[in-house]
Amino acid sequence: MHKATLWDRFWKVDVNQDKVYTILRVLQFGTWSDFLELQKEYWMDEILLVAKENYFNLDDLTRNFLNIKYGLDLPLKWTLNEITSGYSLRFQEEIFVR
């Protein structure tokens, strides 16, 4: 796993005690190879459960990836452009009913 992914605690990350921290950090900032290495440490069910329970700590790009790849239904935030224009290309719907 890249040191940059766990830059602030790399020397003292415990696989069992820091499970949530490690999973969230790899989902948010890791590379594909980090993700594959994460799957060797934890069951995929554990990874998805942590993502579901802590989705508010993930950005929209990560949430969208997990939604598409694993069929999750993590909520996405509205962007400023979608709010000001009143239309969302991502959701293919009008945001404000006039």
For residue range 29-49, what is the model confidence (pLDDT) as tens digits?
888 888 998 899 899 999 999
pTM value is 0.70
Q: Are 87 and 95 in contact (CB under 8 A)?
A: yes
| Max avg pLDDT among 42-46, 64-68, 87-91 | 42-46
Residue 82 pLDDT more than 70? no
Residue 5 lies in a domain: no
- Tokens 């069951």, located at residue: 43
Domain hosting 39: range is: 10-94
| 88: phi then psi, degrees, rounded to nearest 5 | -120, 120
The structure tokens listed for 36 are 């594959």
Residue 34 lies in a domain: yes
Counted domains in the chain: 1
Q: What average pLDDT score do residues 67-72 get?
A: 90
For residue 25, give the 3-state DSSP assignment. helix
For residue 14, give the 3-state DSSP assignment. coil
Q: What average pLDDT score do residues 8-24 get?
A: 76
Identify which has the larger pLDDT, 14 or 94.
14
